Chains A and B, each alone.
Chain A
Amino acid sequence: KAGVTQTPRYLIKTRGQQVTLSCSPISGHRSVSWYQQTPGQGLQFLFEYFSETQRNKGNFPGRFSGRQFSNSRSEMNVSTLELGDSALYLCASSVQTSGGETQYFGPGTRLLVL
């Protein structure tokens, strides 16, 4: 079974631009979560989507948004990029099993804002 895929893997943008990142979950997984990872703050939760609905949202400004499509693929968008948005953006899909809910992470998209 294919794992979580994220595109693009690397991205360079300049301040003020916007960016869209894509995540394809593991087949059959309906929940997709997004995280931002920086050296200073570690991993921080952005938002979670389940069946095309945002189920949870982290403490990030409105410049960060996301959506999920009917095939469970998800996109996140960051508008008006700032230098501090440079980070590794990780997507995870999950499914509930008898052993609990395990998250499976993609390789991430590394965003550099200049």
Chain B
Amino acid sequence: KQEVTQIPAALSVPEGENLVLNCSFTDSAIYNLQWFRQDPGKGLTSLLLIQSSQREQTSGRLNASLDKSSGRSTLYIAASQPGDSATYLCAVGGNTPLVFGKGTRLSVIA
């Protein structure tokens, strides 16, 4: 059974700092990995989707990497801003529906 873990559960950083969020999964037989952002009381916004054959994806200040063999993914956020404050979730897709981690709650302090 696929299990997804995200560390840390919460993170507080000053504005402008570069940061890394971690995601690990137990079963490397995945099709893709997706990073989402969730604002309080809201739905999920897809940030990046990495196919199992890819190593990384970039969108603006965000860069996500995938290492299937070690069961790890990282989300790198450059030059963080207060507007980046949210919960970040990673989800793994395989031959079963998406399995989510419990998220990292990020606070960027101005």
User: Residues on A close to B: CB < 8 A?
Assistant: 4, 6, 33, 35, 42-45, 48, 56, 58, 88, 90, 92, 99-108, 110
Residues on the A chain within 8 Å of B34, using CB: 102-103
Interface majority SS on B: helix, strand, loop or mixed?
strand
User: Residues on B close to A: CB < 8 A?
Assistant: 31-32, 34, 36, 41-46, 49, 51, 89, 91, 93, 96-103
Interface majority SS on A: helix, strand, loop or mixed?
strand
A58-B97 contact in complex given A100-B31, A100-B32, A102-B34, C-beta closer than 8 Å? yes
B43 and A90 within 8 A (CB): yes
Residues on the A chain within 8 Å of B46, using CB: 102-105
A105 and B41 within 8 A (CB): no
